[in-house]
Amino acid sequence: MKCPPFSKIQQWVMRIVNASPVILLGIIFAWSFWAYNVHLCLGLFQEGHSIQASFYIFLYHVIFIMCIWSYWTVCRTSPGYTIELKHEEDRIGLLTSSDKPPDHHLMLPITVKRDGNRRFCQKCRLEKYDRTHHCRLCKRCVLKMDHHCPWINNCVGFHNHKAFYLFLVYATLYCLVLFATTLPALIGQLSNVITVEMTTLIHWVVLVFLSGIFGIFLVPFSLFHTRQLCKNRTTIEYYEKANYRLGRRDVMRSKYFNPWDIGTRKNVEQVLGKGPWWTKMIPIQYDQEQQALGNGTCFPINTYAYETLGVNDVDDDDAP
């Protein structure tokens, strides 16, 4: 029997390593579900605190279901890769109207290389659209790439950005609820107001510790991504400079110039959708109406960027 080649073994090992954070989170979620419901809520029922226990169970399960749903969605949804796109002969033209709307769709990409040429990925052998970046871990170009997250073993991009953001929000609420409801019981035990078994006490201590540690990181992380969501800016765009096509030949390199900010409401709608507020809070797929605000390859820009970049100065002959 022949041994598998070293490249295959290396590939299997890397798959296990990449999947380990997801497995770890799965174990933590499963254990916390059991520890919270059995060792805290069931104990409250046994002590006669039925109303408190019922409220805890209801609140916990709503957040838990939404958190797991969002996590499953972001892990299983492709962020959107350029290699998956069919090459269209006709790109969407410039959208203009008599009342000059505050946002514009572009025929040509506005992000270019330093020499002014259009961005092209040498590894994928495909054009890089605006806000598209190559992920060295996924080994593909990702549409509207935000970052590669090891906790989901996936990239965060155009198609799963909503699920990722909702997972952040619900995971933060999950930690806060666990910490806020378990800590009083733990303090009561330490103050000899409540007497429980040592096993239950250990579960309470670990619940408070883990929810506190994860909460310390998740709260500022969620606030950061909420601000980025409202500004219509990805993590890569926040930290890295970009080269923008200025008129026909010039290039403007800037880290703080944000042409994608078309107003808080529309910025949020690009990610969470245009439906009622409750549809924004569930990890459902994008609707057709949302495609008008960006399709992963081109995005509307604000009026300031439209005028600053001199888009009108580009000849029609430059368009593909």
* pLDDT single digits (tens) 105-117: 556 789 999 888 8
* 242, pLDDT greater than 60: yes
Residue 21 phi, psi dihedral angles, 5° rounding: -65, -35
In the structure encoding, which two tokens stand for residue 250, read together?
């010039």
Return the SS3 of 146.
coil
State the catalytic residue, choosing from 149, 155, 175, 298.
Answer: 149
230 is catalytic: no
In this prediction the pTM is 0.87
Contacts from 9-14 at CB under 8 Å and sequence distance 24+?
none
* 249, pLDDT greater than 80: no
* 229, pLDDT greater than 90: yes
Distance, in Å, from the CA atom of 72 to the CA atom of 50, rounded to the nearest integer, reads: 32
| 36-58: average pLDDT | 92
Contacts from 95-102 at CB under 8 Å and sequence distance 24+?
95/300, 100/303, 102/262, 102/263, 102/302, 102/303
* pLDDT single digits (tens) 150-194: 999 999 999 999 999 999 999 999 999 999 999 998 998 888 766
**CB-CB contact of 192 with 35 (8 Å):** no
- Confidence (pLDDT) at 3: 62
- Confidence (pLDDT) at 293: 52
DSSP 162-203: HHHHHHHHHHHHHHHHHHHHHHHHHHHHHTTSS---HHHHHH
* pLDDT single digits (tens) 296-316: 888 889 988 888 887 666 544
In the structure encoding, which two tokens stand for residue 154, read together?
């996936």
pLDDT band, very low/low/confident/very high, at 87 (cuts 50, 70, 90):
very low
Distance, in Å, from the CA atom of 73 to the CA atom of 48, rounded to the nearest integer, reads: 39
DSSP state of 217: H
| 212-219: average pLDDT | 97
